[in-house]
Amino acid sequence: MVHRVLGDGNCMFSSISHQLFAKPDKHFAVRSLLARFESKNSHVFSSLLTEINASDMTKHITQMLRPGVWGTHVELFAAATYFQIPVYILKVSSEQHKWEVLRPLGPHQDFRYQLCPEIDIEAEDFNRPDHLELLHSFNCHYDSIITSSGRPTTRPTIEKTHIDSTIDIRGRGIGNHQCLIQMRRVSHLTLSAPAVISFTRSSLYFR
């Protein structure tokens, strides 16, 4: 299932907040944490900037610290690397449905960290996930993929479906990431602005 978050420009960070704390309202704390982590390790994350980002890392971080500014792939890699867990993204459009898996860019000890008081990984409400799982709809909105009980998934949904279209992006040292692509059309799926996504062991369907 999917926990919907507001489409207010903070949806990526709200979805990550929901995965970490089962609530989206810590989105600005998540935004600040990731932006400052990028700043501390700009020599790594600057190599990920593309034409959709600001021209340099300083400008990019300044933008990311503003509420309502859309997060990018740089922030997803920052989340994967900061928490040292993979980020699974189900990308859905009218033409195709595929998974992306973003993995940490390197081991914990290779990065500099700045603590964020609002993100307490020792707090009782912190889920201590071993992965993050997000829905990216029509290239413009993120939501949080959850279980039927309303909690973040304990096992990546990609392992329980037969969608075979995946992009696995693994960190291979500073400034070098490699895409391993296996793609097959999933023709039996249809979309019409879904309110809920339900998963079974054999299929993925929208309603």
What does the domain layout of the chain look like in residue ranges? 2-206
- How far is the first Cα of the chain from the last one, in angstroms, to the nearest whole number? 10
The pLDDT, as a whole number, for residue 96 is 78
The pLDDT, as a whole number, for residue 156 is 78
For the chain of 207 residues, list the mean pLDDT of each consecutive stretch of 10: 95 96 94 95 93 87 96 96 95 87 93 81 77 94 87 71 47 32 28 30 29
Q: How far apart are CA 159 and CA 109, in angstroms?
A: 29
The pLDDT, as a whole number, for residue 173 is 34
pTM of this prediction exceeds 0.85: no
* C-beta separation of 108 from 101 below 8 A: no
The pLDDT, as a whole number, for residue 63 is 95
The pLDDT, as a whole number, for residue 159 is 63
Q: In terms of CATH architecture, what is 2-206? A: Alpha-Beta Complex (3.90)
The pLDDT, as a whole number, for residue 53 is 81
30's enclosing H/E stretch is helix 27-40
Listed in order, strand segments (DSSP E) in 5-163 are 87-92, 97-102, 132-137, 141-145
The pLDDT, as a whole number, for residue 55 is 82
